[in-house]
Amino acid sequence: MNQDSILRSLINDNLVSDPVSARGRLLHEAARLFRDKGYERTTVRDLAAAVGIQSGSLFHHFRTKEAILKAVMVETIRLNTALMQSAVDAAPTYRDKLQALVRAELESINGQTGEAMAVLVFEWRSLSEASQAYVLELRDIYEQLWLDVLGALRSEGVLAAEPFVVRRMLTGALSWTVTWYRPDGGLTLDDLTEQVVAMMGLTAPAT
Amino acid sequence: MNQDSILRSLINDNLVSDPVSARGRLLHEAARLFRDKGYERTTVRDLAAAVGIQSGSLFHHFRTKEAILKAVMVETIRLNTALMQSAVDAAPTYRDKLQALVRAELESINGQTGEAMAVLVFEWRSLSEASQAYVLELRDIYEQLWLDVLGALRSEGVLAAEPFVVRRMLTGALSWTVTWYRPDGGLTLDDLTEQVVAMMGLTAPAT
DNA sequence: CGATACCAAGCAAGCGCTTGGTTTGTAAAC
DNA sequence: GTTTACAAACCAAGCGCTTGCTTGGTATCG
């Protein structure tokens, strides 16, 4: 399963919006605006203008402004969980699985879904508590993928720290790349992935 | 120099506000509110109420609401740069210096100045561009402390990744602890520091 | 014909900030 | 040791503007 077919499958199941549809384009523009200006500083008039409609017409698609933020987050998590699962399944060893997860998350954060991922990190508090609880449930599935792989590496004696601590450190470290990493800066995503693995003392296994 | 005498010295030089003064108390409450609700969702009425004055009276102390945010950030960086410098100076080896830096930053993020540090991370975009440029200058001094230590460790062959990448990863990882670490959760700051160093493959040096 | 997608206009509430005037603290002048 | 002077700190009121959202009506299309 490549990235495109995963996306298409989710669209068919109505779990994420087609980027071509009106709703999908709105969510994409919303993610960009929320990342650039922040949720609060983005007005419904900004959102409407970005897709070329009147501000009032937004409320035909979403009940409230917050529902737009929630949709951005929910769909992003759904897509990325599927991508991570696929990355883990494809890798043979646990060391490879970890590298694949790191690589996949870096791609989520710095690639096409980067705007939405940044929103997920930085606009968390703008969600109502009810929405936070819902999104949190989705994220638990996602996190378990990481913990399983890190737990196996710990058992193998390759990892010297606690899996749940390592995962949280990696969450921060990888999310933060959105604030400084630029793909045109002489450092590819593969380079970056290698640096992360090297930093953890997990260089290529002895042969 | 202990933490308290460093703080006092900065107060005397007028680089940070005395926490007892009206201005100092306002900045402290502002940091707490900005972290809890976000800068945009915190109103000048909230800020004024937190220190027991009328909203209009705020503008006797600060020209704009944004000036309050800027002051929170500037004073926090000044204090933490001094604390970091002191931590580095006190440690004998470079490995110890790194551990001291990690420990000091974890303390900044999760200790007394934690609210302000969280603001520094999550409310960056709420600063005007002019203020951002000013704060960025201050932060460069701070960052150089890290790069020097990491560079030395790299030369020693203890560190397998690029210093500037490692620093940015650590920035993300350590900042992120503010979202999950709770001192009463059975994990002390010393434990956490050790986990970070262990995760980097820098366990206690061979004797 | 009926549902879907939209527009034009505007309302009520909340926002940052200003204004004119009063209290409070301090210190020199007498 | 009281009086005078004055700035700093604060209040009460509210202005002008923007905000999220509503309303009533009109195209568009299967």
Q: What would the pLDDT profile of A71-91 be if each residue is shown by its tens digit? A: 999 999 999 999 999 999 999
The pLDDT value given to residue B112: 87
Q: Are A82 and A10 in contact (CB under 8 A)?
A: yes
Q: What are the pLDDT digits (tens) for B38-73?
A: 999 999 999 999 999 999 999 999 999 999 999 999
B162 contact residues in A (CB cutoff 8 A): 195
Which pLDDT band, with edges at 50, 70 and 90, does B146 fall under? very high
Phi, psi values for residue B39, rounded to 5°: -60, -45
Rounded CA-CA distance A94/B184 in Å is: 33
- Does the CB of A189 sit below 7 A from strand D? no
pLDDT at A96 over 70: yes
Q: List, for residues A18-65, the tens digit of each pLDDT value.
A: 888 889 999 999 999 999 999 999 999 999 999 999 999 999 999 999
Cα dihedral B172, A200, A182, B149 sign: positive
Q: How far apart are CA A195 and CA A189, in angstroms?
A: 10
Q: Do B173 and A177 touch (CB under 8 A)?
A: no
Q: What is the pLDDT of residues B81-139, one digit of tens each?
A: 999 999 999 999 999 999 999 999 999 999 989 999 999 999 999 999 999 999 999 99
- A45 CB below 7 A from strand D atoms: yes
A64 near A43, Cβ under 8 Å? no
Please name the helix (run of DSSP H) or strand (run of DSSP E) that holds residue A42, with its range, or none.
none
CB B173 within 8 A of CB A169: yes
**Count, residues in chain B:** 207
Q: How far apart are CA B128 and CA B66, in angstroms?
A: 8
Residue nearest to nucleotide D23 (CA to C1'): A56
